[in-house]
Amino acid sequence: MIARRGVTAVLLPVLLPVLLAAAAGCAAQQKGAPRQEGGAAPGVTGTTVKVGGVLTKTSASGYSTKDAEIGAKARFERANAEGGVHGRTIEFIGAEDDAQDAAKGDAAAKKLVQKDQVFALVPVHAPNFGGAAFLEQQGVPWFGWATGPQWCGTRTGFGYNGCLAPKQGDGSQTWWGRQMAELLGGAEGKSVYVQTSDSSGSKYGGTTISQSFTAAGFELAGVDSGLPAAAPPPDWLPYVNKIMTSDDGGPPDVVVSVIAGTKFNVGLYGALKRAGYKGTLTDATSYDVAILKDPASARALDGVIAAPMFEPFESTAPEIAKLRQDVEKVAPGTPLTQHLAIGYWAADIFLDLLGKTGKDLTRERFLDTANGSYLYENPGFGRIEYPKDHTEPNGCGALVKLEGGAFRVAKSMKCFDNVPLK
């Protein structure tokens, strides 16, 4: 497109050939692009809305969020079976793989927008996603799990549970600490120790999660960020000794692990149990069906309280029954994972916003609706509120306990007020 400029009558004869040539070039660039009806947004026709996502399907470490594609597809397929949104079905073209590489994530976002002509990116679930700046500059909405700071403070990025990396002074979650306090019969007189790795994300999580527990009334026995993030240490004894003497020479009541990876937690928890630790262990990653397939991992993690930011699959809530049905229709026998749930709920929020935007759909109208005064409550993930949750988390989460080789709901989804991050 050509930016309009004020042109005097004297300059018009000189500039007219240039303007015409530029217009012809613009038309040539658009040749072959999908036809847009009535000036509609890219990816929008009278009967469809095209979306695609970016995931970390593969990585050198083996980390993968590929199941989010199944979750999003399941939710979109139900919407289509119900007639779509304002007469438009969702054309989901799948997700690109960023291989946990920021440059590849940026390239994937540009491909989806410039070549595939998607209306929005759903789901985006990539810890090192590099396409944020491009999408913000282009005004393209994107939905997923806002684990990194690239999601926060934008107009176009919508984490299904808000911004999980708030800046100092912005709202920070208290739900994990408060849910644990309720589970343990109160926080008074109880201490908590937070173990992180030396990665920037893990350290940041240590700050926000420590505050979550102190806001709930726990005493902070200590925070350690000395654990190398590259690989589990050959000897856990130095870390265990520090934990076991952190509360005035004795062990804390609760140990929180802010470490990405089951191997790390299996090593830490196994070592703590061998040292005689009898307190409560909790983390955000141990709600994983793959753990149940490995007897050694299941034993090491037995009794651990995991903290997912969605209603657990074991819940009897109608919304979870619907999720299970939706997934079974598109991918029979698929194990239900956290990544799958993230894709599903990101798609669900996108669909709700699509409906509230109305039949006259453009990206600008969509973003105005989302950033006006948007509130959506769903027992599956709690609630989301924009524009507030561009700068703070939604404050909601549940607890799951691994016990005897099976997961059970320890605390159902609940939302709590945030507090300013110190």
- At residue 39, the pLDDT reads 52
* pLDDT of 23 higher than 90: no
Cite the DSSP H helix spans in 249-317: 262-274, 289-292, 295-300
- At residue 139, the pLDDT reads 98
CB 93 within 8 A of CB 122: no
CA-nearest of 213, 158, 155, 209 to 184 is 213
Q: Residue 374 carries which side chain, given as an amino acid letter?
A: Y
Interval 250-308: pLDDT, tens: 999 999 999 877 889 999 999 999 999 999 999 998 998 989 989 989 999 999 999 99
* pLDDT of 317 higher than 50: yes
Predicted TM-score (pTM) of this structure: 0.86
Residues in the chain, overall count: 422
* pLDDT of 202 higher than 90: no
Mean pLDDT of 147-171: 94
- At residue 24, the pLDDT reads 38
- At residue 213, the pLDDT reads 98
Mean pLDDT value across the chain: 90
Interval 33-76: pLDDT, tens: 333 344 568 999 999 999 999 999 998 878 899 999 999 999 99
Which one-letter DSSP state was computed for residue 250?
A: B
- At residue 40, the pLDDT reads 64
* pLDDT of 22 higher than 50: no
- At residue 38, the pLDDT reads 42
CB 207 within 8 A of CB 225: no
Pairing of strands 396-403, 305-306: antiparallel
CB 116 within 8 A of CB 93: yes
Confidence category of residue 231, pLDDT binned at 50, 70, 90: confident
Cite the DSSP H helix spans in 275-337: 289-292, 295-300, 318-330
Which string of DSSP letters, residue by residue, matches 41-104? PTTB-SSEEEEEEEE----TT----THHHHHHHHHHHHHHHTT-BTTBEEEEEEEEE-TT-HHH
Interval 407-417: pLDDT, tens: 999 999 999 99
Element at 195 (helix H, strand E) = strand 191-197
* pLDDT of 20 higher than 60: no
* pLDDT of 6 higher than 70: no
Cα distance between residue 298 and residue 402, in whole Å: 8
* pLDDT of 166 higher than 90: yes
Which strands, in side-by-side order, build the sheet including 406-415? 219-227, 191-197, 254-258, 280-283, 305-306, 396-403, 406-415
* pLDDT of 25 higher than 50: no
Confidence category of residue 353, pLDDT binned at 50, 70, 90: very high
Mean pLDDT of 327-334: 97
- At residue 188, the pLDDT reads 97
End-to-end CA distance of the chain, in Å?
A: 46
* pLDDT of 96 higher than 90: yes
Interval 103-153: pLDDT, tens: 999 999 999 999 999 999 999 999 889 999 999 999 999 999 998 899 999
- Who wins on pLDDT, 269 or 9? 269
pLDDT exceeding 90 applies to what percent of the chain? 79
Pairing of strands 191-197, 396-403: unpaired
